[in-house]
Structure 1
């Protein structure tokens, strides 16, 4: 199966994004990927997994990008999404206040 891994290339892939990603999703659970990193949710239906990931690499899951620079690479273009995700995660982590608990009981 030929995957289109070059997001900047002008060649049309042999298979659609959905068809390519279904191969990955046969083992990798999309819901868990979305929970782990917002970019998986954002790009899952628009970009092939192979645009960012090497298919079953020995070491690094992203092509030539150190783990330190992975988030920076995404946030350079998608800073607002990262801020919203961080705020939502912080909100989930906060314990419920007495006012919130009282409101929930009503």
Structure 2
């Protein structure tokens, strides 16, 4: 990853203009990506215990898609809206990090 140079940036508070120096950590941060509602990502690191639905299955809002074990708790991952499962990127027993794409919906 390319390191960015330190730079002074302007900001305004109550009509007063200030300058501040951005830190290297801030300059090299991961850019924000708008979440795609058709992608179900892992919200915490854990292990996929059970896949409840298969590719191509029509699923209604609120149905359990898979169970993710994290910190000795079984977390049910629910379908956010009515749709069809386009692709499954995980397998039972697989460990996934936070932010990992698990299921794609169409």
Please give the TM-score of this superposition, normalised by the length of structure 2.
0.20
Bigger strand share? 2
* Structure with more contact order per residue of length (Cα contacts < 8 Å, sep ≥ 6): 2
Larger radius of gyration: 2
More helix by share: 1
User: TM-score if structure 1 supplies the norm length?
Assistant: 0.20
